[in-house]
Amino acid sequence: MTHWFGLTPAQRVAEVEAAGLPAFRAGQISRHVFERHEFDPGSFTDLPLAMREVVSGRWFAPPLALAFELTADKGRTVKRAWALVDGAVIESVLMRYPRRDTLCISSQAGCGMGCPFCATGQGGLRRNLTAVEILAQLADAEATLASGSLPGGPGRVGNVVFMGMGEPLANYNAVMSAVRRIVDPVPDGWGISARGVTVSTVGLVPAMSRLAAEGLPVTLALSLHAPDDDLRDELVPVNKRFKVAEVLDAAWDYARVTKRRVSIEYALIRDVNDQAARADALARELRRRGDWAWAHVNVIPLNPTPGSRWTASTPASQAGFVARLERAHVPVTVRDTRGSDIDGACGQLAATVPPGDLGA
């Protein structure tokens, strides 16, 4: 099914002409979508009525249907679960911050990587999303923000993070064509700065190298979680294929080629990976590759997931871990746990309807 979101600018013109419409209509349609953030052709009032129906039927069949929605933080965090046309369910989370609105999107229905602390990983992979299904999550968030209906007034998505369900680099082609539409300047695409786009990976080394060669300065996040193979083999099963040294080399190459600082994700798990010795080992691994601050460690307090035997570190061990990194001059921040009360935080997306919620 062809959808406007997924077409390149040249394909849009070709499509419009093939439908017997004048080429300038392509630009008009794109301005509605990418400039005004409207995607119901019924409201494209500069198109004749009959043409709106053609446009709607050919290029705007809805890829997602709202299954349910939960909000937290006084309406500033919105998690939406979406049913895809084949019944698979995915989730996206919109977070309003004072200076930027951030959207966390899914790239797959489920995930096949099986990290034991992650709710998405427990259900396995159902399928890859198409570029259109990825982009429809952004289109919805832009329309919601543009409408001004959320607390904080009208806004625009400033950051798009591929940290929802799925492993984006395991769905490389769809993710990359989505990224191109996200960063294409308005009105060809959403015009979001590539620096505002973060692709988070479990460490698929060949795909990381491929991403570095794309010439797109997106931010790369590497979910490391342990500086040694013994522990990482357990926390991140794909480590049996791509070892710590290899994934860090690939991250370092990414930083060198793109001149972009890489984000090292580290979910802090009590008495599992939060020891001072592991903080020191992590700092050593980062600093021995490059002495400029090529990597930034993002500590994520572990979010609870059903059936997991692990919990977040104590505040004291978390502070100790952060202090060890700082002492070694490694830039480090602690991620907030936005959305954890609605199972909308990192690793909690499982698309399960909460008890008592009958759906929207």
The minimum distance between CB 241 and ligand SAH, in angstroms, equals 15
Restricted to residues 48-87, the positions that interact with ligand SF4 (CB under 6 A) are: none
Q: 116 preceded by cis ω (within 30°)?
A: no
SS3 332: strand
Query: Residue 84 and residue 91: Cα distance in Å, rounded?
Result: 11
The minimum distance between CB 219 and ligand SAH, in angstroms, equals 12
Whether residue 346 lies in the annotated active site: yes
22: left (phi over 0), alpha (psi -120 to 50) or beta: beta
Residues contacting 249, CB < 8 A, separation 6+? 289
Query: Residue 46 and residue 199: Cα distance in Å, rounded?
Result: 37
Site string for ligand SAH, 313-352 (x = CB under 6 A): ---------------------------------xx-----
Which run of H or E residues covers position 51?
helix 49-59
Q: Write the DSSP symbol of residue 269.
A: B
Which of 142, 167, 188, 343 contacts ligand SAH by CB under 6 A? 167
Contact between 249 and 292 (Cβ < 8 Å): no
Query: Can residue 305 be called a binding residue for ligand SAH (CB under 6 A)?
Result: yes
The minimum distance between CB 305 and ligand SAH, in angstroms, equals 5
Which of 167, 188, 285, 343 contacts ligand SF4 by CB under 6 A? 167
Whether residue 115 lies in the annotated active site: no
Which of 104, 111, 115, 346 is catalytic? The answer is 346
The minimum distance between CB 263 and ligand SF4, in angstroms, equals 14
SS3 159: strand
Which of 91, 133, 142, 265 is catalytic? The answer is 91
Q: Write the DSSP symbol of residue 150.
A: S
Query: Can residue 223 be called a binding residue for ligand SAH (CB under 6 A)?
Result: yes
- Which single residue brings its beta carbon nearest to ligand SF4? 121
Query: Can residue 109 be called a binding residue for ligand SF4 (CB under 6 A)?
Result: no
Residues contacting 190, CB < 8 A, separation 6+? 34, 138, 142, 157, 181, 182, 183, 184
Residues at the contact surface with ligand SF4, assessed by CB under 6 A: 111, 113-115, 118, 120-121, 166-167, 202, 223, 347
Residues marked as catalytic: 91, 346
Residues at the contact surface with ligand SAH, assessed by CB under 6 A: 111, 117-118, 163, 167, 200-202, 223, 265, 267, 300, 302-303, 305, 346-347
